[in-house]
Structure 1
Amino acid sequence: VQNHQLGEMASGVGVADNCVTSFNDLKLKHDRKYVIYKMNDGMTQIEVFKEGAKDASYEEFCGLLPEDSCRYGVFDVEYTDPKTGGQRNKIVFFHWAPDSCKVREKMIYASSKDELKKRLVGVATEVQGSDKGDIEMTAVVERVNRV
């Protein structure tokens, strides 16, 4: 039986309603810069962990990604378009899975990611990271320029 209120996934993990609401506020109201998501303690539901104010920095976002636990996140990336020189914004989805994380946790996050992403309509691209080097802003901008 599916839990429609939470949006139960094939992995058995649900998505809390406020995950989508928070993302839509970032996308439509531009009242926050990022949203970080995490599993609840029972690993049964994805929840909003932290929201960044609209003037929050990318460094702040990266600093909230733990070295021993997985997270998902979205960040409203501002960058200069290399073709036009104009300022652009794209919402990037992050799948953070550090090497030191437990295998079971990595597997649950990996199997639950697509359902969360599917609900976050308007994501331009995805960045996967296992260490801070994987998510440096230069690599992220390079990725959004390909979209």
Structure 2
Amino acid sequence: MAVNDECKLKFLELKAKRNFRFIIFKIDEKIQQVTVEKLGQPDESYDDFTASLPANECRYAVFDFDFVTDENCQKSKIFFISWSPDTSRVRSKMLYASSKDRFKRELDGIQVELQATDPSEMSLDIVKGRAL
């Protein structure tokens, strides 16, 4: 599975310049390549992000999560989220599962990985818990 150069470039912009809050990636089965599907603007929220994920199709995503620690320090962590809803096609789930590690290696700087099959598995509380 190839990775479109735009995926790496946009990820670097998210990581270094903080131009985006999140990026949603999709596997284009016709060209056998991971491509950028949606870029979330810096002012978009976690709810905007979760609403952007299709209910019955797999996706990869990165989310730049800002939070405050117990010591009152402002921090951020970059999450890699593998979205594989139970209602998606079996072939699609297999394709995303088998390509995940190779794709993730292309994105240098991911700090937390999360796998979700329904929205409750990636609730804001879970993300906060994994960030701390």
TM-score by length of 2: 0.96
Partner of 2:130: 143
Identity of aligned residues (%): 38
Q: SS at the partner of 1:28?
A: helix
The answer to whether 1:72 aligns with 2:84 is no
Q: What secondary structure is seen at the aligned counterpart in 1 of 2:21? A: strand
User: Aligned-pair distance for 1:116?
Assistant: 1.1
**Does 2:126 match 1:119?**
no
Where does residue 17 of structure 1 map in the other structure?
5
Give, in angstroms, the shift of residue 70 of structure 1: 0.1
Secondary structure of the residue aligned to 1:32 is coil
Name the counterpart of 1:5: none
Shift of the 37–120 alpha-carbon distance from structure 1 to 2, 3 Å rule, reads: same
Give the Cα–Cα distance (whole angstroms) in 2 for the partners of residues 127 and 21 of structure 1.
Answer: 22
Structure 1 pair 133–43 and aligned structure 2 pair: CA distance change class (3 A): farther
Aligned length: 132
- AA aligned opposite 1:98: P
Shift of 1:66: 1.0
C-alpha RMSD of matched pairs (Å): 1.0
- What SS does structure 1 have at the residue aligned with 2:87? coil
Distance 1:140 1:95 in 2: 13
One-letter amino acid of the counterpart of residue 75, structure 1 = F
SS of corresponding position for 1:55: coil
| Alignment match, 1:9 | none
Distance 1:73 1:116, change over 3 A: same
**Unmatched tracts of structure 1, length 5 or more:** 1-12
- Given the alignment, which residue of 79, 82, 97 partners 1:110? 97
Q: Which letter does structure 2 place at the counterpart of 1:66?
A: P
Q: Is the radius of gyration larger for structure 1 or structure 2? A: 1
Query: Within 2, Cα distance between the matches of 1:43 and 1:124?
Result: 29
> Aligned pair 1:61/2:61, yes or no?
no
- After the TM superposition, which parts of structure 1 deviate over 6 Å for at least 4 consecutive aligned residues? none
Counterparts of 1:43 and 1:132, CA distance in 2: 29
How many angstroms apart in 2 are the aligned matches of 1:38 and 1:14?
A: 12
**Structure 2, gaps ≥5 residues long:** none
Q: Which residue of 1 aligns with 2:85?
A: 98
Deviations 1:72-128 (A, max 9, x none): 00000011112x221110000000000001111000000101111111111101111
